[in-house]
């Protein structure tokens, strides 16, 4: 199933609710989320102050959180279907007040963190130097799996509590992994909202 980028913006919002609610029920919710529509590449180019305001508002509202998830697409939303999704994970150390940034890019490339424009936007918004690291993560064998790789990384990190994934080795994502993720995780996710609506 090809998940178009226009659908991914909406789906991310619902998916965040699922991740947030699930971890909240377990008393382990230490993650906040930036809205992917408000940090997408078109806005970074055309209205960077809006993006900066959103970043600051989220961080200010979630002062108690240590982790911040930011699915990000480069380029204009109007042409999002041809663009590429990455995941930015920010970590705030509550004692030393320092910031770490982790980039998950499923497209194998030689790009380094400073080559991603969004890294500079985060530093400008936070007004702090962020120590960046590009993570060896799942790689996409074709041109359409990037959105799934982002969602799988968020699921692993938030639900499975796999902070060790920050040092995982690079490997190609398999079609069977995507199929299993869709069938298992997303069906449970959609079902949970359906049941929630029935009880309202």
pTM of structure: 0.77
Mean pLDDT lowest among 22-26, 50-54, 65-69, 181-185? 22-26
What are the tens digits of pLDDT across the range 116-162? 999 999 999 999 999 999 988 888 888 778 888 888 888 888 877 66
Cβ 68 vs Cβ 34: under 8 Å: yes
Say if residue 145 is exposed, middle or buried (CB neighbours under 10 Å; 0-12, 13-18, 19+). Answer: buried
Give me the pLDDT at residue 79, please.
Answer: 47
Nearest 5°: the CA angle 159, 163, 169 is: 115
**Hey, which residues does 133 pair with through a beta bridge?**
102
What are the tens digits of pLDDT across the range 175-200? 777 777 777 776 766 666 565 554 44
Superfamily of domain 5-195: Adenoviral Proteinase; Chain A (3.40.395.10)
More confident residue, 78 or 11: 11
């Amino acid at each position: 199933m090809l998940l178009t980028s226009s659908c991914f913006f909406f789906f991310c919002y619902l998916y965040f609710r699922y991740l947030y609610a699930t971890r909240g029920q377990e008393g382990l919710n230490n993650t906040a989320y930036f809205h992917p529509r408000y940090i997408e590449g078109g806005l970074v180019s055309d209205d960077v102050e809006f993006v900066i305001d959103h970043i600051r508002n989220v961080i200010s509202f979630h002062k108690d959180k240590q982790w911040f998830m930011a699915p990000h697409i480069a380029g204009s939303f109007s042409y999002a279907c041809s663009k590429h999704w990455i995941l930015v994970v920010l970590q705030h150390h509550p004692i030393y007040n320092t910031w770490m940034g982790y980039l998950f890019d499923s497209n194998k490339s030689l790009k380094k963190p400073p080559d991603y424009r969004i890294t500079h936007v985060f530093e400008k918004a936070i007004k702090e130097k962020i120590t960046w690291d590009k993570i060896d993560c799942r790689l996409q064998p074709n041109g359409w799996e990037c959105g799934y790789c982002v969602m799988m990384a968020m699921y692993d990190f938030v639900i499975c509590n796999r902070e060790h994934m920050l040092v995982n080795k690079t490997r190609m994502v398999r079609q069977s992994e995507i199929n299993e993720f869709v069938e298992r995780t997303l069906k449970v996710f959609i079902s949970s909202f359906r049941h929630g609506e029935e009880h309202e």
